[in-house]
Structure 1
Amino acid sequence: MPKPGRSMDWGFPRWRGYEAGREAAQVRLCDRHGCEEVGDCPAPKAPNSPERWMFCQTHAAEYNRKWDYFEGLDKAEKEARAKSERSENAGYAEAQHYGWGGSGDGSRSADEMRALDILELEADADFAAVKKAFRAKAKTVHPDVKPGDSDAAAEFQKLSVAYDVLKAAEERREWKG
Protein backbone atom coordinates (compact mmCIF):
# COMPACT_ATOMS: atom_id res chain seq x y z
CA MET A 1 0.00 0.00 0.00
CA PRO A 2 1.55 3.32 -1.02
CA LYS A 3 1.78 6.29 1.28
CA PRO A 4 -1.33 8.51 1.30
CA GLY A 5 0.22 11.32 -0.79
CA ARG A 6 1.81 9.02 -3.32
CA SER A 7 0.51 8.28 -6.82
CA MET A 8 -0.28 4.75 -7.99
CA ASP A 9 0.88 5.34 -11.57
CA TRP A 10 4.70 5.48 -11.12
CA GLY A 11 4.89 8.21 -13.75
CA PHE A 12 2.79 6.38 -16.31
CA PRO A 13 -0.76 7.72 -16.27
CA ARG A 14 -2.37 4.69 -17.91
CA TRP A 15 -1.03 2.19 -15.36
CA ARG A 16 -3.64 3.14 -12.85
CA GLY A 17 -7.11 1.66 -13.20
CA TYR A 18 -9.68 3.73 -15.00
CA GLU A 19 -12.03 5.65 -12.72
CA ALA A 20 -9.68 5.00 -9.82
CA GLY A 21 -9.80 8.62 -8.74
CA ARG A 22 -11.89 9.94 -5.89
CA GLU A 23 -14.17 12.10 -8.00
CA ALA A 24 -17.53 10.75 -9.13
CA ALA A 25 -17.54 9.05 -12.52
CA GLN A 26 -19.92 10.48 -15.13
CA VAL A 27 -22.53 7.89 -16.08
CA ARG A 28 -25.18 8.66 -18.65
CA LEU A 29 -28.45 6.79 -18.24
CA CYS A 30 -30.52 5.37 -21.07
CA ASP A 31 -32.69 8.00 -22.79
CA ARG A 32 -35.68 5.61 -22.85
CA HIS A 33 -38.29 6.85 -20.38
CA GLY A 34 -38.17 4.89 -17.13
CA CYS A 35 -34.98 2.96 -17.90
CA GLU A 36 -32.26 3.06 -15.25
CA GLU A 37 -29.55 1.20 -17.24
CA VAL A 38 -26.33 2.82 -18.46
CA GLY A 39 -26.85 4.45 -21.87
CA ASP A 40 -23.67 3.65 -23.79
CA CYS A 41 -25.08 2.96 -27.29
CA PRO A 42 -25.54 6.06 -29.49
CA ALA A 43 -28.42 6.16 -31.96
CA PRO A 44 -29.22 9.02 -34.38
CA LYS A 45 -32.27 11.11 -33.57
CA ALA A 46 -32.93 11.67 -37.30
CA PRO A 47 -31.27 10.68 -40.60
CA ASN A 48 -28.11 12.70 -41.27
CA SER A 49 -28.35 14.41 -37.88
CA PRO A 50 -25.40 14.79 -35.51
CA GLU A 51 -27.72 14.59 -32.48
CA ARG A 52 -27.79 11.20 -30.77
CA TRP A 53 -29.96 9.31 -28.33
CA MET A 54 -28.02 7.25 -25.81
CA PHE A 55 -29.66 3.87 -25.13
CA CYS A 56 -28.79 0.79 -23.13
CA GLN A 57 -28.10 -2.30 -25.26
CA THR A 58 -31.66 -3.63 -24.93
CA HIS A 59 -33.30 -0.39 -26.07
CA ALA A 60 -30.68 0.20 -28.78
CA ALA A 61 -31.55 -3.19 -30.27
CA GLU A 62 -35.25 -2.32 -30.11
CA TYR A 63 -34.62 1.08 -31.74
CA ASN A 64 -32.48 -0.35 -34.54
CA ARG A 65 -34.78 -3.27 -35.31
CA LYS A 66 -36.97 -1.16 -37.60
CA TRP A 67 -34.49 1.54 -38.57
CA ASP A 68 -34.58 2.29 -42.30
CA TYR A 69 -31.48 4.12 -43.47
CA PHE A 70 -33.12 4.91 -46.80
CA GLU A 71 -36.42 6.19 -45.39
CA GLY A 72 -37.95 9.00 -47.44
CA LEU A 73 -35.86 8.38 -50.57
CA ASP A 74 -37.23 7.21 -53.88
CA LYS A 75 -35.78 4.15 -55.63
CA ALA A 76 -33.22 6.07 -57.73
CA GLU A 77 -31.97 8.04 -54.72
CA LYS A 78 -31.69 4.82 -52.67
CA GLU A 79 -29.59 3.17 -55.37
CA ALA A 80 -27.38 6.26 -55.75
CA ARG A 81 -26.78 6.51 -52.00
CA ALA A 82 -26.10 2.77 -51.69
CA LYS A 83 -23.63 2.94 -54.60
CA SER A 84 -21.79 5.93 -53.12
CA GLU A 85 -21.59 4.24 -49.71
CA ARG A 86 -20.19 1.06 -51.29
CA SER A 87 -17.54 3.04 -53.16
CA GLU A 88 -16.63 5.13 -50.08
CA ASN A 89 -16.38 2.03 -47.91
CA ALA A 90 -14.57 -0.18 -50.43
CA GLY A 91 -11.41 -0.15 -48.34
CA TYR A 92 -13.23 -1.86 -45.49
CA ALA A 93 -14.43 -4.65 -47.77
CA GLU A 94 -10.91 -5.33 -49.01
CA ALA A 95 -10.24 -8.29 -46.72
CA GLN A 96 -13.63 -10.01 -46.80
CA HIS A 97 -12.07 -13.17 -48.21
CA TYR A 98 -10.41 -13.76 -44.84
CA GLY A 99 -13.77 -14.22 -43.12
CA TRP A 100 -14.92 -17.68 -42.11
CA GLY A 101 -18.39 -17.55 -43.55
CA GLY A 102 -20.16 -16.07 -46.48
CA SER A 103 -23.76 -15.01 -46.71
CA GLY A 104 -26.28 -16.27 -44.20
CA ASP A 105 -25.41 -19.18 -41.98
CA GLY A 106 -22.89 -20.67 -44.42
CA SER A 107 -25.20 -23.41 -45.67
CA ARG A 108 -25.75 -21.70 -49.04
CA SER A 109 -23.21 -20.65 -51.65
CA ALA A 110 -22.97 -17.19 -53.15
CA ASP A 111 -24.65 -18.46 -56.34
CA GLU A 112 -27.56 -19.80 -54.31
CA MET A 113 -27.89 -16.49 -52.50
CA ARG A 114 -27.98 -14.60 -55.82
CA ALA A 115 -30.60 -17.04 -57.13
CA LEU A 116 -32.72 -16.46 -54.02
CA ASP A 117 -32.42 -12.71 -54.58
CA ILE A 118 -33.65 -13.12 -58.15
CA LEU A 119 -36.65 -15.07 -56.88
CA GLU A 120 -37.09 -12.47 -54.09
CA LEU A 121 -36.86 -15.05 -51.30
CA GLU A 122 -35.21 -15.01 -47.88
CA ALA A 123 -31.94 -16.86 -47.28
CA ASP A 124 -33.67 -19.57 -45.23
CA ALA A 125 -36.37 -20.40 -47.81
CA ASP A 126 -36.99 -24.11 -48.35
CA PHE A 127 -37.25 -25.71 -51.76
CA ALA A 128 -41.07 -25.77 -51.72
CA ALA A 129 -41.04 -21.95 -51.43
CA VAL A 130 -38.45 -21.77 -54.23
CA LYS A 131 -40.65 -23.88 -56.51
CA LYS A 132 -43.75 -21.81 -55.68
CA ALA A 133 -41.98 -18.48 -56.28
CA PHE A 134 -40.46 -19.71 -59.55
CA ARG A 135 -43.80 -20.91 -60.92
CA ALA A 136 -45.59 -17.70 -59.93
CA LYS A 137 -42.94 -15.48 -61.55
CA ALA A 138 -42.46 -17.70 -64.61
CA LYS A 139 -46.18 -17.59 -65.42
CA THR A 140 -46.02 -13.83 -65.88
CA VAL A 141 -43.00 -13.72 -68.23
CA HIS A 142 -43.16 -17.09 -70.04
CA PRO A 143 -42.49 -16.79 -73.81
CA ASP A 144 -45.84 -18.51 -74.54
CA VAL A 145 -47.67 -15.82 -72.51
CA LYS A 146 -45.68 -12.93 -74.02
CA PRO A 147 -44.55 -14.01 -77.49
CA GLY A 148 -42.06 -11.69 -79.17
CA ASP A 149 -41.22 -9.79 -75.95
CA SER A 150 -37.43 -9.97 -75.62
CA ASP A 151 -37.41 -8.44 -72.10
CA ALA A 152 -39.85 -11.07 -70.85
CA ALA A 153 -37.79 -13.82 -72.49
CA ALA A 154 -34.62 -12.57 -70.80
CA GLU A 155 -36.40 -12.39 -67.44
CA PHE A 156 -37.75 -15.93 -67.91
CA GLN A 157 -34.26 -17.18 -68.74
CA LYS A 158 -32.87 -15.49 -65.60
CA LEU A 159 -35.60 -17.09 -63.46
CA SER A 160 -34.93 -20.49 -65.04
CA VAL A 161 -31.20 -20.31 -64.32
CA ALA A 162 -31.90 -19.28 -60.72
CA TYR A 163 -34.29 -22.19 -60.30
CA ASP A 164 -31.78 -24.63 -61.83
CA VAL A 165 -29.05 -23.45 -59.44
CA LEU A 166 -31.32 -23.94 -56.42
CA LYS A 167 -32.63 -27.29 -57.69
CA ALA A 168 -29.09 -28.63 -58.17
CA ALA A 169 -28.13 -27.46 -54.67
CA GLU A 170 -31.21 -29.16 -53.19
CA GLU A 171 -30.35 -32.41 -55.00
CA ARG A 172 -26.78 -32.25 -53.63
CA ARG A 173 -28.15 -31.79 -50.10
CA GLU A 174 -30.52 -34.73 -50.50
CA TRP A 175 -27.73 -36.91 -51.90
CA LYS A 176 -25.39 -36.07 -48.99
CA GLY A 177 -28.08 -36.42 -46.35
Structure 2
Amino acid sequence: MSRARRSMDWGFPRWRPYGASQEAANVRICDRHGCDEPGNCPAPKAPNSRDRWYFCQKHAAEYNSRWDYFEGLEAAEKEERAKAERAESAGYSEASHYGWAGSGDGSRSADEMRALEALGLDPDADFDAIKKAYRARAKEVHPDVKPGDAEAAKQFQVIQTAYEVLRAAEERREWKG
Protein backbone atom coordinates (compact mmCIF):
# COMPACT_ATOMS: atom_id res chain seq x y z
CA MET A 1 0.00 0.00 0.00
CA SER A 2 1.44 3.35 -0.99
CA ARG A 3 1.58 6.14 1.46
CA ALA A 4 0.33 9.59 0.59
CA ARG A 5 3.22 11.99 0.29
CA ARG A 6 3.14 14.65 2.93
CA SER A 7 3.46 18.30 1.95
CA MET A 8 6.51 20.16 3.18
CA ASP A 9 4.59 23.40 3.87
CA TRP A 10 2.99 22.05 7.07
CA GLY A 11 -0.42 23.25 5.95
CA PHE A 12 0.61 26.84 5.30
CA PRO A 13 -0.02 27.48 1.57
CA ARG A 14 1.72 30.88 1.68
CA TRP A 15 5.00 29.10 2.39
CA ARG A 16 4.94 27.57 -1.08
CA PRO A 17 6.98 29.31 -3.74
CA TYR A 18 5.12 31.45 -6.26
CA GLY A 19 3.94 29.47 -9.27
CA ALA A 20 3.98 26.18 -7.36
CA SER A 21 0.21 25.77 -7.30
CA GLN A 22 -1.26 22.52 -8.56
CA GLU A 23 -4.18 24.03 -10.49
CA ALA A 24 -4.25 23.80 -14.27
CA ALA A 25 -3.37 27.02 -16.03
CA ASN A 26 -5.20 28.13 -19.15
CA VAL A 27 -2.73 28.60 -21.98
CA ARG A 28 -3.87 30.20 -25.20
CA ILE A 29 -2.26 28.55 -28.24
CA CYS A 30 -0.89 30.67 -31.12
CA ASP A 31 -3.58 31.41 -33.73
CA ARG A 32 -1.14 30.66 -36.57
CA HIS A 33 -2.13 27.36 -38.20
CA GLY A 34 0.15 24.52 -37.14
CA CYS A 35 1.88 26.38 -34.29
CA ASP A 36 1.74 24.85 -30.81
CA GLU A 37 3.52 27.69 -28.95
CA PRO A 38 1.66 29.81 -26.36
CA GLY A 39 -0.11 32.72 -28.04
CA ASN A 40 0.51 35.58 -25.63
CA CYS A 41 1.08 38.45 -28.12
CA PRO A 42 -2.18 40.13 -29.20
CA ALA A 43 -2.36 41.64 -32.69
CA PRO A 44 -5.33 43.46 -34.27
CA LYS A 45 -7.20 41.54 -36.95
CA ALA A 46 -7.92 44.72 -38.93
CA PRO A 47 -7.13 48.43 -38.61
CA ASN A 48 -9.32 50.15 -36.02
CA SER A 49 -10.78 46.82 -34.87
CA ARG A 50 -11.08 45.49 -31.33
CA ASP A 51 -10.80 41.85 -32.53
CA ARG A 52 -7.39 40.35 -31.89
CA TRP A 53 -5.26 37.46 -33.05
CA TYR A 54 -3.06 35.89 -30.41
CA PHE A 55 0.33 34.86 -31.77
CA CYS A 56 3.53 33.47 -30.30
CA GLN A 57 6.41 35.93 -30.32
CA LYS A 58 7.85 34.60 -33.61
CA HIS A 59 4.58 34.84 -35.52
CA ALA A 60 3.71 38.21 -33.96
CA ALA A 61 6.98 39.61 -35.32
CA GLU A 62 6.22 38.15 -38.75
CA TYR A 63 2.68 39.59 -38.67
CA ASN A 64 3.85 43.04 -37.57
CA SER A 65 6.54 43.23 -40.25
CA ARG A 66 3.81 43.57 -42.90
CA TRP A 67 1.38 45.64 -40.84
CA ASP A 68 0.24 48.95 -42.31
CA TYR A 69 -1.17 51.12 -39.54
CA PHE A 70 -2.67 53.59 -42.03
CA GLU A 71 -4.35 51.04 -44.33
CA GLY A 72 -7.79 52.10 -45.55
CA LEU A 73 -7.50 55.73 -44.44
CA GLU A 74 -7.83 58.78 -46.66
CA ALA A 75 -4.69 60.87 -47.25
CA ALA A 76 -5.90 63.61 -44.88
CA GLU A 77 -6.75 61.05 -42.20
CA LYS A 78 -3.32 59.42 -42.61
CA GLU A 79 -1.58 62.76 -42.14
CA GLU A 80 -3.73 63.66 -39.13
CA ARG A 81 -3.07 60.32 -37.44
CA ALA A 82 0.67 60.50 -38.22
CA LYS A 83 0.74 64.02 -36.73
CA ALA A 84 -1.00 62.78 -33.58
CA GLU A 85 1.48 59.88 -33.28
CA ARG A 86 4.43 62.26 -33.62
CA ALA A 87 2.96 64.54 -30.95
CA GLU A 88 2.48 61.61 -28.55
CA SER A 89 6.02 60.33 -29.04
CA ALA A 90 7.73 63.73 -28.87
CA GLY A 91 8.97 62.97 -25.35
CA TYR A 92 11.16 60.17 -26.66
CA SER A 93 12.93 62.44 -29.11
CA GLU A 94 13.41 65.05 -26.38
CA ALA A 95 15.21 62.43 -24.25
CA SER A 96 17.71 61.58 -26.98
CA HIS A 97 20.11 64.31 -25.85
CA TYR A 98 20.68 62.35 -22.64
CA GLY A 99 22.40 59.66 -24.67
CA TRP A 100 19.63 57.11 -24.18
CA ALA A 101 18.97 56.83 -27.86
CA GLY A 102 21.22 55.72 -30.67
CA SER A 103 20.76 55.30 -34.36
CA GLY A 104 18.18 52.72 -35.39
CA ASP A 105 16.15 53.02 -32.20
CA GLY A 106 13.99 56.03 -32.90
CA SER A 107 16.60 58.77 -32.99
CA ARG A 108 16.29 59.17 -36.76
CA SER A 109 13.40 61.08 -38.29
CA ALA A 110 10.98 59.58 -40.80
CA ASP A 111 12.73 61.53 -43.58
CA GLU A 112 16.09 60.06 -42.56
CA MET A 113 14.62 56.56 -42.53
CA ARG A 114 13.21 57.05 -46.04
CA ALA A 115 16.58 58.39 -47.19
CA LEU A 116 18.37 55.35 -45.75
CA GLU A 117 15.87 53.10 -47.51
CA ALA A 118 16.48 54.92 -50.81
CA LEU A 119 20.20 54.23 -50.42
CA GLY A 120 19.52 50.61 -49.47
CA LEU A 121 21.01 50.90 -45.96
CA ASP A 122 20.05 49.64 -42.51
CA PRO A 123 18.57 52.10 -39.99
CA ASP A 124 21.71 51.97 -37.84
CA ALA A 125 24.18 52.79 -40.64
CA ASP A 126 26.88 55.28 -39.72
CA PHE A 127 27.77 58.28 -41.89
CA ASP A 128 30.82 56.61 -43.46
CA ALA A 129 28.59 53.80 -44.75
CA ILE A 130 26.12 56.41 -46.01
CA LYS A 131 28.86 58.21 -47.99
CA LYS A 132 30.14 54.94 -49.41
CA ALA A 133 26.66 53.80 -50.51
CA TYR A 134 25.87 57.21 -52.00
CA ARG A 135 29.06 57.27 -54.07
CA ALA A 136 28.55 53.71 -55.31
CA ARG A 137 24.93 54.35 -56.32
CA ALA A 138 25.79 57.73 -57.88
CA LYS A 139 28.42 56.10 -60.09
CA GLU A 140 25.85 53.60 -61.35
CA VAL A 141 23.10 56.07 -62.33
CA HIS A 142 24.89 59.39 -62.90
CA PRO A 143 23.57 61.26 -65.98
CA ASP A 144 27.12 61.46 -67.39
CA VAL A 145 27.41 57.66 -67.23
CA LYS A 146 23.93 57.08 -68.70
CA PRO A 147 23.15 60.09 -70.91
CA GLY A 148 19.56 60.31 -72.14
CA ASP A 149 18.24 57.72 -69.64
CA ALA A 150 15.29 59.41 -67.88
CA GLU A 151 14.91 56.62 -65.31
CA ALA A 152 18.59 56.84 -64.33
CA ALA A 153 18.31 60.63 -63.98
CA LYS A 154 15.28 60.20 -61.72
CA GLN A 155 17.10 57.62 -59.56
CA PHE A 156 20.11 59.94 -59.35
CA GLN A 157 17.90 62.78 -58.08
CA VAL A 158 16.37 60.45 -55.47
CA ILE A 159 19.71 59.27 -54.09
CA GLN A 160 21.16 62.80 -54.22
CA THR A 161 18.20 64.13 -52.20
CA ALA A 162 18.53 61.22 -49.77
CA TYR A 163 22.22 61.97 -49.26
CA GLU A 164 21.52 65.67 -48.68
CA VAL A 165 18.90 64.82 -46.02
CA LEU A 166 21.31 62.47 -44.23
CA ARG A 167 24.25 64.89 -44.51
CA ALA A 168 22.19 67.73 -43.02
CA ALA A 169 21.06 65.46 -40.16
CA GLU A 170 24.67 64.43 -39.49
CA GLU A 171 25.77 68.09 -39.43
CA ARG A 172 22.99 68.88 -36.92
CA ARG A 173 24.13 66.02 -34.70
CA GLU A 174 27.75 67.19 -34.83
CA TRP A 175 26.71 70.75 -34.09
CA LYS A 176 24.65 69.69 -31.04
CA GLY A 177 27.23 67.25 -29.72
Q: TM-score, normalised by structure 2?
A: 0.59
The correspondence for 1:6, drawn from 12, 17, 20, is 12
| Mapping for residues 45-64 of structure 1, pairs under 5 Å | 45-64=45-64
Structure 2 regions of 5+ residues with no counterpart?
Answer: 1-7, 123-129, 144-152, 172-177
| SS at structure 1 position matched to 2:13 | coil
* Residue equivalent to 1:17: 18
Indicate conservation of the 8 Å contact 1:28/1:40, yes or no: yes
Q: Determine what percentage of the aligned residue pairs are the same residue.
A: 53
* Post-superposition offset of 1:62: 1.6
Q: SS of the residue aligned with 2:62?
A: helix
Deviation, structure 1 residue 52: 1.1
Name the CA shift for 1:94/1:159 in 2 (closer, same or farther; >3 Å): closer
Cα-to-partner distance string for 1:107-151 (whole Å, 9 max, x where unaligned): xx969x7497299434346122245567524988xxxxxxxxxxx
Aligned-pair distance for 1:47?
0.8
2:164 is aligned to 162
- Tell me which residue corresponds to 1:102: 102
Post-superposition offset of 1:55: 0.5
Q: CA deviation at 1:51?
A: 1.7
Q: Equivalent residue for 2:40? A: 40
Q: CA deviation at 1:35?
A: 1.4
Q: In the TM superposition, what whole-angstrom CA distance separates every residue of 1:142-168 from its partner, at most 9, and x where no partner exists?
A: xxxxxxxxxxxxxxxx949818949xx
Q: Partner of 1:152 in structure 2? A: none
* Superposed CA offset, 1:50-108 (max 9, x none): 22111011211221121111112243322221111111232344322334553349xxx
Mapped partners of 1:32, 1:119: distance in 2 = 30
* Structure 1 spans left out of the alignment, 5+ residues: 10-14, 141-157, 170-177
Q: Distance in 2 between matches of 1:27 and 1:78?
A: 37
User: What does 1:56-75 correspond to in 2, within 5 Å?
Assistant: 56-75=56-75
> How many equivalent residue pairs?
140
TM-score under structure 1 length normalisation: 0.59
What do residues 17-67 of structure 1 show as CA deviations (whole Å, max 9, x unaligned)? 13x212111111101122111111111111111221110112112211211
Aligned residue in 2 for 1:129: 137
Distance 1:40 1:34 in 2: 16
